[in-house]
Amino acid sequence: MVEPIEITYLSHSGFAVRIGDTLLVFDDAQGRPAEDDSLQIGRVTRSLIEEHQRTIFFVSHAHADHFSPAIYDFNDIDSVRYVVGDDVPEEYAGHRMSPGDTLSLGGAKITAYDSTDVGVSFLVSMDGFTLFHAGDLNFWHWREESTLREIEQAEKEYEMAIQPLEGQEIDFAFFPLDPRMGEMYDAGALRFLLCVKPRVMIPMHWWGRGDVALEFARKNRSKQAEIVALTRPGETLRAGKSEDGKIQLEL
């Protein structure tokens, strides 16, 4: 059995992932936490970071719903590192990555993939687990407003972006569901399930509509892919992995 993993939902597209003595934090866009850590639910705090031997903050891109400068409040801690997409302003230090770049950091193997918006998506392998955080990679289409040509172009760009991920063995994929797109809000996520085949998908980016994530999970989980909707800040998924690659989940 591979050492267990813990995935905690922060907000919107933000997650904190505990793997052994390492904390991986993806797209934490929350502001500064209060002084009293006991009041924090689903927040990355100084005491949480100090519980781990190393912490890596990932920023897929600079949109305000994916990035808060408050994560740099922790840059005085020696064990903290930052990995940022190529669109993040230069004033924010870190390992800057563009699509196709690779990086080894603190025992994690990191590859940046493309986005269909700005910045990058991240594939991270560490201690027997592989995680994919999509950032704003999605099949962005607005069927009530876009022309047919615009929708076809968006679909083409999306298929080109996910093609390099096909064949990758992904244990957990954090992927957008955006109800603002209307009836076909889940087209990108469904295509990702079909083509990339992650073992577990965790919906994100649903703009406060936890019901959307829960309904998507109910309708689309299968023997090939489990879908877990974490909808409350601080909600945590614990998982183990057997030697044959099967994921065992515990909410």
Q: How far apart are CA 140 and CA 178, in angstroms?
A: 9
pLDDT at 142 over 80: no
pLDDT digits (tens, 9 = 90+) for 56-110: 999 999 999 999 999 999 999 999 999 999 999 999 999 999 999 999 999 999 9
Per-residue pLDDT tens over the stretch 169-205: 999 999 999 999 988 899 999 999 999 999 999 999 9
Global pTM reads: 0.95
Give the alpha-carbon dihedral of 84, 110, 13, 233, to 10 degrees: -110
**Does residue 209 sit in helix, strand or coil?**
coil
Query: Which residue type, as a one-letter code, is found at position 95?
Result: H
Residue spans per domain, the chain = 2-250
Alpha-carbon distances of 244 from 1, 7, 10, 128, 235, rounded to whole Å: 9, 21, 30, 11, 27
What 3-state class would DSSP assign to 57?
strand
Pick among 3.30.710.10, 3.40.1410.10, 3.60.15.10, 2.120.10.30: CATH of 2-250: 3.60.15.10
